[in-house]
Structure formats: structure tokens, C-alpha cells
Amino acid sequence: MTARQMKLGAFLWATGHHIAAWRHPKAHVTAGIDIDHYIQLARTAEAAKFDMVFCEDAAGLREANIGIASQTSRSIGFEPISLLSALAVQTSRIGLVSTASTSYNEPYGLARTFLSLDHLSGGRAGWNLVTSASPIEAANFGATGLKPHADRYERAREFAEVVTGLWHGKASGHNGQSFSVRDPLDLPRSPQGAPVMVQAGASDVGRDLAARTADVVFTAAQTFEEAKAFYDDLKGRLPAYGREPDDIKIMPGVAPVVAETEAEAREKYEELQELIPDDVGVALLSSYLSISDLWRYPIDGPLPELPESEGMKSRQALVIEQSRRDGLSIRQLARHFAGARGHWRIVGTAAQVADELQARFEGGAADGFNVMPSYFPGELDAFATLVVPELQRRGLFRTEYQGRTLRDHLGLKRPV
Amino acid sequence: MTARQMKLGAFLWATGHHIAAWRHPKAHVTAGIDIDHYIQLARTAEAAKFDMVFCEDAAGLREANIGIASQTSRSIGFEPISLLSALAVQTSRIGLVSTASTSYNEPYGLARTFLSLDHLSGGRAGWNLVTSASPIEAANFGATGLKPHADRYERAREFAEVVTGLWHGKASGHNGQSFSVRDPLDLPRSPQGAPVMVQAGASDVGRDLAARTADVVFTAAQTFEEAKAFYDDLKGRLPAYGREPDDIKIMPGVAPVVAETEAEAREKYEELQELIPDDVGVALLSSYLSISDLWRYPIDGPLPELPESEGMKSRQALVIEQSRRDGLSIRQLARHFAGARGHWRIVGTAAQVADELQARFEGGAADGFNVMPSYFPGELDAFATLVVPELQRRGLFRTEYQGRTLRDHLGLKRPV
């Protein structure tokens, strides 16, 4: 490979990433439990030479209000390890990344499961480490509330250390603050050295954990400036851990709506936006802000002053920033963030979408992107058949896989 | 279906069930991480109309001594949920049962994972509940020793109650001694009503838990009398829980060595037995007896008096009983139990094996059997091509699947 090329992940999510995808006339409403649907998506992404498919996850429901939860595009769906294990034997090259929580698992079991998926797939597995910021999950695991942000990250740091130690076949046991583990795993070394480590924490402590342990960072950024600032900050943290800029691939989320013409793309987008019920939009915005009473405020008025949160600090900051910058009302913010779940939205032709991706990639704000199609399979097909060939024509994306493992695709060093 | 027919499970285990299988000239030594190997086994079992494949499991190594562990037939292997999820999309009818521990998991996560496998497979999943009796596992999950037997079973009872509650879609939360869970799962009801519950605990408290919650009981019994006594005892406990005898299928393990002639079968068996190293045999016997210093006693002398165990009480009793009955030395006991891991061994022709199975089935000592081939794939092939047709000729086993789910195959009621 000569020129630097971008990395692409296909974010899987039941019916689609747009919050109202399930109301779209082309929606596959029970997609979340249709394995043939997921096999089709993984094969489409593999044929388009994506680096990986990526499963977001939470242990359980996403919304405290079950009425609201049932009105979003992922009210039901497979648990991701079982899903990706099934996809492993229905694909041959594409990477398989799943989210799993450091709060509701034990490191020995998690290390074993991901290394098993890695062997099943011939070295294509990745773990997206999350600390689980939702009190909804906590309530299903015996906790009466969420642990403080700093405690979650301290546990996560030790958890990651134990897991990578097990993957790297370190013989000695671990005796730490939260965990003690005596034996090695009952599996040999990974075909790619170790599964790929992915992280998405964007707070200060989250960025430090990523700089210390992650191979890939998934992030949300609306503007070029936000993306660039995050990119430079994170890459700047690497030398402190003896790492080089290329050791981490930063891949923000992008929610494209693409069509043959710009007018068609806009029409598709507006059609989806109009399907968002206000109560669902406000509920999702509330959960991003980690507050429960947003519905009390006038929907056409401004965002109220918010208390310090123990939830997703970085998401909260993003919403507040956008609210101030554009003077948006609660309803406008809700629609804006609900549609793409806080991620970067591009609406246009293949050339327009490719222009935007190229600008962030070449401008040093991203090493690649996690693509979040509005609804499946239609919008993944549109990206694969319209945008990918455009990126390939520009020399910005591979036309064939060069290696067999996820580390090969991502151009990551093999751990020693 | 008119006459009562037996149920058959195919016990999967890397290279094979015989402890020295890995030393056999026909052994596939890296079978434990060869997904194509497992796909072949599952398809063979499905073509022979087995009810299910069954994965034993422990969270990690089986032997404290890594030197000994590496000299057994399952020193490495896939984690079973990832394995069975892959097999789910490579088969269409056969049941998929995995072991998972109530000591090292949380009920919300486990219920979600098994229900996900159940949806992936169209209603073919089963959970074999174990409380994890090995201090080796405990050492990898932050514990300094094994919890007392009664405490493990009390946690297991509550764990099973939470899991079945979640599977049955009970709306209200659970607030108990060990667990609190607020929400339902993010998956709809199982295609078979609920995944099948399997158990193997054979102590008094283990039998009560099985009588209360299990659909299938896996057990070890050397003689007809032992098997019959266990069968009658367990079925006798059902009325106390408002259940009928047919609500539980009792399926002991059986380790057949079958060939065209009895002489060939004996020769195959002796060849395997001679491959057992004494130190491995004694180590396995020690772990059955939950003691660590058996190697201190003369190998050709009798079993010493043993202290009360917090490990697998029922296994310990079985070994002591056999030792007294047949006056066996430690070496003889080690070979006897090591070869088939304490399960019932039958060596002979297809007709002889079928005779023995028929006698226990018709004598009211079993509803079916979990078949444990000595090495894979050869000995599963031998059972499928020699014994299954013989059982079918006798009307004792199905010639075609009648339904699509594991509950259908097992003739179990669909939970309401």
C-alpha cells in the first residue's frame, strides 16, 4: 500500500440508525432478531471491503420508559457476541467488533469470549470497551444507581489491563484493586496477536484510557473543528504511553443520506426527520443529557441550565455546545440529535459525501469513519454502491483486502 | 408419535471424551479451535437425528496443574456460546445446549445471551445450569476459594428463578437475596416458549433444584441400579413442585466404543486405555474426589479415607462406591474413571450397545442418553452409522424430526 487510505466500519443496528427508521415504509421492523438480515448486511459490507462491522450494545433496554423504548429503531435485537459468532462463519474477511461492558462482566470471562470469537473468525475480532453510563443497565445488575464516572474508569483501566494480559498470554497472575485472576486462558494466542481494542470514551479520563490501551477510537463530532480538536488531543496523548500516532485509528461516526441527486437525498432525509415523534426525540435528548425531567420545560424554549452529570460527560458537552452555537430550541435539538443520535450527518450525492469524508480525512481530523446508515438494508446498499466506488476512484479506499485479519485491514502492529 | 422413543444428545468435546484421545493416532489434536471440525460434528449429529449437541464447559482450565491440563483431550477449546452461535447458522434442526455457571455470571446477562442464541437458531437453545464446583475457576474470578455447596445452590436457585422469569416475560422486577433486576429483556419471547433448562447436580439439593426447574437432567451412573435409583428418586420429587414425570427427561451419559465386531470394539477400547498416563489418571481421579494429595498414596493400594467435600459430592460418592464394590486400587480406579470421565462405558457391536441402551430405557432408568464418543469425528461417525440405525430398526429412535424446536424434539411442554 502506498498512499494512506481511510478505514471504514459499518455500524449495525437492527432496523437502522435513524431513530424513526422503524416508521419508514421500507423498514424491516423485526430486523433485530432476523439473522438472515444481519448475514445480508455483513456480506454487503464485506463485498464493499469495509474493515469491520461494529455492534453497539447496552445490557438491556435503552430507555427507562418502555413506551418510548418501543418507539425507537432498536427496541429488540440479538446480544452481539452470539450475533457476531454467527456472522463469523458466514463471512471470511471482514472484522467483527462488539461492545461489552467493564461494569457488568468479569475480565476472565470477557477475555475468553472475545478470544474465542477471534479464533472462530480467523483473527477478525475486536472489543469495544464501554464502562456503561446508563442507570437503566445498572438497575438490572443489582445496583441501585450508577457508580461515579471516575470509579467506572478506574475499574475499566484495571479490567483492560487484565484482559490484554490474558490475550498476550502473560503467565503470571493478576492481583489488583477490583480483580484477581490466577490462570492463563484455555485458548492459544490469537491469529492476529490479540483482538483489536476499541474505545469510545471522550471525557478526559476516557481519552487517557484510550491513549493507553485502544487500537481504534470511535467518537462523535458534529463539526470539522470538533473532530480535529479531538483527533489532535488524542494523538497528542500517545507519547506519554510510549506509543506512536499511527498506533491508534480514530474513526468518528458518520450518518450519511446519499442518493443519485442532492434533491433526492434531501427528500429522503426530510421524510425520515418528519417521522420522529416529539416525545421520542425529547426522551433521547434527555438520555444524552443524563437528566430525567427535560419534558417539563417548554419544547419550543431553550435548553435549561443542567447539573453536573455522572453519565456520558462528553455527549452532554456536545449537546450544550451545539445548543449555544445555533440557538436551538429543545424541539430542534431533539430532532437534530435524535435523527443521527448525535453523530455527524451528511446529506447529498456520492461525490458530495466523498468530498466531506475526504476533507476530514485529509485535514487530519479522522483516520476513517464508522458509517451509520439510516435504515437497513437500503441505506447500507446505497453507501456501498454509490460512495465506496467514489472513494475507491479517488484512491482513498481499498479495492481489495490485503490481509486476512482485522489488524491487517486496519494497518495495526501485531502485539508482541 | 406412538411408542415412547429415546432422546439422544451428542456431547461435544474438542478431540474426544476419552482422556487420552489426543494421543490416539487418529486424533485431531487442535480440534478445540477448529470451527470446521465442530460444524462437521454438528451436521453428523443432525443427519443422525440427534435431539441436541451439548457443550460441557468450565470457565478456564480444568486442572490446577498446567502440565496435567495440557495432557488431556480438552486443554484448549472455544467458549461454548460463541461456538454454538456459529453452529446455529450451519445447522437447521438440532438442539444447541451449553453449560454456563451461576457463580460467575449475572442472571440478566445470561438470560439475554441464551435467549439471543434461541432466536438465532429458531428455538433450539438450552442452558445447562452448573454452580461451578472447581476452585480452579474460582481463582480466576477474584475468589480465594470455593463457596460452600449449600450457598452455591441457594444462589443457583435464585439465579434460575430470575432467568426463567425473564424468559417468560414476567413484567415485574425481582428483588432477592443475591440479585435485583428491574426490566424485561430487550428480546421477544422465545420461538419455543423459553430455552430448555438442563441440570446435572446430583446431590440432594441439586436434585431438588432439578425437580423444581429442569427440563432435562444429565447424570452419570455406572450400573443399572444406580441409574434406576436416581431416575426414580428424581421423578419422585416432581409432584412436590406440581410437575408430572414426563416434564423432565433424564439423560445419563454413555461412553460407547462400537465396531462391526465385538473383538474390534475391545481392541479399540484397550488401545485407548493403554494411552492413559498414570499421573493424568490420578490427577483426574483427584479432581473428581475434590482432594489434592492423592498422589501421596501408593498407586497400587486402596483409596484412603476421604474428608467431607465441598466440591462435587455426588461424583465423590460414585467413586467411593465403585472402589468398595470392586476392590479397585488407585491405579485401577484412575484408569476406570479417567477413560470415560466417570460415565457408563459400553464396548461392543451395534446390537450389543443397542441392547444395553434399550434395557436402561425400557427398564425405567433413562429417557435417553448423552453420547460421549471417545474421539472425534471417528467415534461419533461410528455411533451415527452403526448404533442409530439399529435403534431406529427397533423403533426406539426417530427416523425424522417431527418439529423444529428443541422442545419439540424432546417432547416437552411449551411454557405458558
What backbone phi and psi angles, to 5 degrees, belong to A119? -70, -40
Q: String of b and e for B177-188 (b: at least 16 CB within 10 Å)?
A: ebbbbbbbbbbe
Q: Which residues of A touch B120 (CB under 8 A)?
A: 35, 78, 82-83, 86
The CATH architecture one would assign to domain A7-260+343-410 is Alpha-Beta Barrel (3.20)
> What is the SS3 string spanning chain B?
CCCCCCEEEEEECCCCCCCCHHHCCCCCCCHHHCHHHHHHHHHHHHHCCCCEEEECCCCCCCCCCHHHHCCCCCCCCCCHHHHHHHHHCCCCCCEEEEEEECCCCCHHHHHHHHHHHHHHCCCCEEEEEECCCCHHHHCCCCCCCCCCHHHHHHHHHHHHHHHHHHHCCCCCCEECCCCEECCCCCCCCECCECCEEEECCCCHHHHHHHHHHCCEEEECCCCHHHHHHHHHHHHHHCHHHCCCHHHCEEEEEEEEEECCCHHHHHHHHHHHHCCCCHHHHHHHHHHHCCCCCHHHCCCCCCCCCCCCCCCCHHHHHHHHHHHHHHCCCHHHHHHHHHHHCCCEEEEECHHHHHHHHHHHHHCCCCCEEEECCCCCCHHHHHHHHHHHHHHHHCCCCCCCCCCCCHHHHHCCCCCC
> Which residues in chain B have their CB less than 8 angstroms from residue A181's CB?
139-142
Is A267 in a helix, a strand, or coil?
A: helix
Domain residue spans in chain B?
A: 7-259+344-410, 272-336
B83·A116 Cβ contact <8 A: yes
Q: Of A108, A142, A178, which has the smallest distance from its Cβ to B140's Cβ?
A: A108
Say whether A258 sits in a helix, a strand or coil.
Answer: strand
Q: Contact, B52 vs B128, CB < 8 A? A: no
Burial of B150 from C-beta contacts in 10 A (0-12 / 13-18 / 19+)? exposed
Contact A85 B82 (CB under 8 A): yes
> Inter-chain contact B81–A82, Cβ cutoff 8 Å?
yes
Below-70 pLDDT ranges, chain A: 1-2, 62-75, 143-145, 171-172, 309-313
Beta-carbon contacts of B269 under 8 Å, excluding residues fewer than 6 positions away, are: B257, B345, B347
Mean pLDDT of chain B: 91
Q: Is the pLDDT of residue B222 over 80?
A: yes
Q: How confident is the model at residue B292 (pLDDT cuts 50, 70, 90)?
A: confident
Q: What is the pLDDT of residue A111?
A: 97
Q: CB-CB: which of A78, A82, A183 is closest to B61? A: A183
Quote the cell numbers at residue A409.
Answer: 485491514
**pLDDT computed for residue A93 by the predictor:** 98
Query: In chain B, what residues touch A109 (CB-CB under 8 Å)?
Result: 59, 104-105, 141
Q: How far apart are CA A242 and CA A123, in angstroms?
A: 25
Q: Kindly state the helix (H) or strand (E) to which residue A221 belongs, with its residue range.
A: none
The whole-angstrom distance between A196's CA and the closest CA on chain B is: 17
Rounded CA gap, A30 and A14, in Å? Answer: 8
pLDDT tens-digit map of B133-166: 888 888 888 866 778 889 999 999 999 999 999 9
Q: Which candidate from B90, B112, B188 shows the least CB-CB separation from A79?
A: B112
C-alpha cell at B52: 441436541
H or E, element range at A10:
strand A7-12
Q: Which residues of A touch B15 (CB under 8 A)?
A: none
Cell of A360: 476530514
Instruction: Note the pLDDT tens digit of each residue in B7-63.
Output: 999 999 888 888 888 888 888 888 999 999 999 999 999 999 999 999 988 877 766
DSSP structure class, residue A193: B
Interval B360-375 mean pLDDT: 97
CA of B370 to nearest chain A CA: how many angstroms apart?
A: 24
Percent of chain B with pLDDT over 90: 66
Q: Which three cell numbers stand for residue A161?
A: 489491563
Amino acid type, B135: P
The answer on whether A44 is annotated among ligand-binding residues is no
- ipTM reported for the complex, 2 dp: 0.91
Q: Which residues pair with B258 in a beta bridge?
A: B348
pLDDT of residue A298: 92
Query: Which of A83, A85, A144, A187 best tests the B interface by mutation, with the highest count of B CBs <10 A?
Result: A85
Residues 6+ apart with CB under 8 A from A385: none
Calpha distance B31→B22 (Å, rounded): 10
CATH architecture of B7-259+344-410: Alpha-Beta Barrel (3.20)
Question: Which residues of B belong to the annotated binding site for FMN?
Answer: 57, 99, 149, 153, 203
Cβ atoms of residues B137 and B130 within 8 Å? no
Q: Do B139 and A182 touch (CB under 8 A)?
A: yes
The most confident of the ranges B115-129, B181-195, B320-334 is: B115-129
Residue B281 has a pLDDT of 87
CA distance B252 to chain A (A): 27
- List the single residue in A78, A85, A141 with the smallest CB-CB distance to B108: A141
What are the residues whose beta carbons fall under 8 Å from the beta carbon of B277, sequence distance 6 or more?
B20, B71
Identify all chain B residues contacting A180, using CB atoms and an 8 Å cutoff. Answer: 139, 142
Closest Cα in chain A to B39: A89
- Which of B60, B109, B179 is the closest to A186 by Cβ? B60
pLDDT computed for residue B1 by the predictor:
47
Task: Give the A:B interface size as CB pairs under 8 Å.
Answer: 156
Cross-chain CB nearest to A186 (options B61, B82, B116): B61
Q: Looking at beta carbons, which residues of chain A come within 8 Å of B61?
A: 183-184, 186
Is the pLDDT at B342 greater than 80? The verdict is no
Q: Kindly write down the DSSP assignment for every residue of A110-160, as one continuous string.
A: HHHHHHHHHHHTTS-EEEEEE----HHHHTTTT-SSPPPHHHHHHHHHHHH
Least-confidence region, from B8-12, B167-171, B246-250? B167-171
Contact A341, A283 (CB under 8 A): no
Chain B residues within 8 A of A184 when measuring between CB atoms: 61, 66
Tell me the shortest Cα–Cα distance from A112 to chain B, in angstroms: 7
| DSSP reduced 3-state for A55 | strand
Least confident of A345-354, A399-408, B335-344, B379-388: B335-344
Tell me if B120 and A35 make a contact (CB, 8 A cut-off).
yes
Look at A182 and B35 and tell me if their CB atoms are within 8 Å: no
B124: pLDDT strictly greater than 90? yes
User: What is residue A1's predicted lDDT score, i.e. its pLDDT?
Assistant: 47
Q: Which of A65, A114, A186, A187 to mutate to test the interface with B (most CBs of B within 10 A)?
A: A186
* Run of H or E residues at A410: helix A406-410
Question: Could B60 and A106 be called an inter-chain contact, meaning their C-beta atoms sit closer than 8 Å?
Answer: no
Tell me how close the Cα of A286 comes to any Cα of chain B, in angstroms. 19
User: Which of A89, A179, A184 lies nearest to residue B142, judging by beta carbons?
Assistant: A179
Mean pLDDT of B175-192: 92
From the list B66, B85, B136, which residue is nearest A86 (CB)? B85
- Pick from B399, B235, B268, B404: which is nearest to B346 by CA? B268
- Chain B interface, best mutation among A66, A82, A127, by max B CB count within 10 A: A82
**pLDDT of res. A136:** 82
Known binding-site residue numbers of B: 57, 99, 149, 153, 203
Residues of chain A contacting residue B72, judged by C-beta atoms under 8 Å apart: none
Per-residue pLDDT, B205: 93
> Considering only alpha carbons, which residue of chain A is nearest residue B34?
A120
Tell me the C-alpha distance between B287 and B62, whole Å. 9
pLDDT of residue B202: 84
**For residue B10, what pLDDT is reported?**
98
Structure-block grid coordinates of residue B30: 487442535
Q: Does residue A149 have a known ligand-binding role? A: yes
Tell me which DSSP letter residue A90 carries: T
Among the listed residues B218, B228, B219, the one whose alpha carbon sits nearest the alpha carbon of residue B315 = B219
Residue from the list B39, B113, B180 with its beta carbon closest to the beta carbon of A79: B113
CA distance A34 to chain B (A): 7
**Which residues does chain B have within 8 Å of residue A82's beta carbon, measured at their own beta carbons?**
81-82, 85, 88, 113, 116-117, 120
Q: Distance (Å) from the C-alpha of residue A279 to the closest C-alpha of chain B?
A: 20
Residue pair A211/A241 in contact (Cβ under 8 Å)? The answer is: yes
Q: Which cell numbers in the block locate residue B146?
A: 470455593
User: B181 to chain A: which residues are within 8 Å by CB?
Assistant: 139-142
Residue B287 in this model has a pLDDT that exceeds 90: no
Q: Which residues of B touch A136 (CB under 8 A)?
A: 183
